[in-house]
């Protein structure tokens, strides 16, 4: 597999995990809220609980291992990114739409590359 797709996948995965940590520390950073509600804190925690471990796993594992199980980790990460795209479309957040769409495509391409390897 080309190193370029692995590196793009690593960047996409770590970017998602990094934004989850940012949202965990400063929940208003993603919502743009002036006053942080308990629901935003809950959402930030839920997002981080999913995005940090999945981002780390989907970024690191393709460098270390191969096979269908790792490809499925990437496909699951892509599904999570598709959900993020849907949320972003609902909020009309262009940056999030573009970032999550990019991550979706990269995860799928990397997963397919692992399968055909």
pLDDT tens-place string over residues 61-74:
999 988 899 999 99
Which of 2-11, 19-28, 104-113 has the weakest average pLDDT?
19-28
Which of 21-25, 36-40, 49-53, 76-80 has the weakest average pLDDT?
36-40
Cα gap 109→9, rounded to integer Å: 9
The pLDDT of residue 70 is 95
Cα gap 11→57, rounded to integer Å: 12
Question: What's the pTM value of the predicted model, to 2 decimals?
Answer: 0.88
| Domain, as residue range, for 86 | 3-116
Average pLDDT over residues 66-92: 94
Number of domains in the chain: 1
Cα gap 115→110, rounded to integer Å: 9
Which of 28-32, 66-70, 89-93, 105-109 has the weakest average pLDDT?
28-32
Q: Whose structure tokens read 């598709």? A: 82
What residues have CB less than 8 Å from 25, skipping those under 6 apart?
Answer: none
- Of the candidates 73, 75, 93, 74, the one whose C-alpha atom is nearest the C-alpha of residue 84 is 93
The pLDDT of residue 27 is 85
The pLDDT of residue 1 is 61
Going by pLDDT thresholds of 50, 70 and 90, the confidence category of residue 39 is confident
């Amino acid at each position: 597999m080309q190193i370029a797709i692995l590196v793009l996948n690593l960047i996409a995965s770590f970017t998602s995990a990094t934004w989850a940590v940012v949202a965990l520390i400063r929940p208003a950073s993603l919502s743009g809220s002036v006053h942080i509600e308990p629901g935003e804190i809950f959402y930030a925690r839920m997002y981080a609980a999913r995005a940090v471990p999945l981002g780390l796993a989907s970024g690191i594992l393709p460098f270390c291992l191969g096979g269908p199980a790792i490809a499925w980790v990437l496909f699951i990460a892509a599904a999570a990114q598709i959900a993020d795209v849907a949320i972003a479309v609902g909020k009309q957040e262009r940056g999030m739409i573009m970032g999550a769409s990019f991550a979706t495509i990269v995860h799928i391409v990397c997963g397919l590359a692992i399968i055909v390897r």
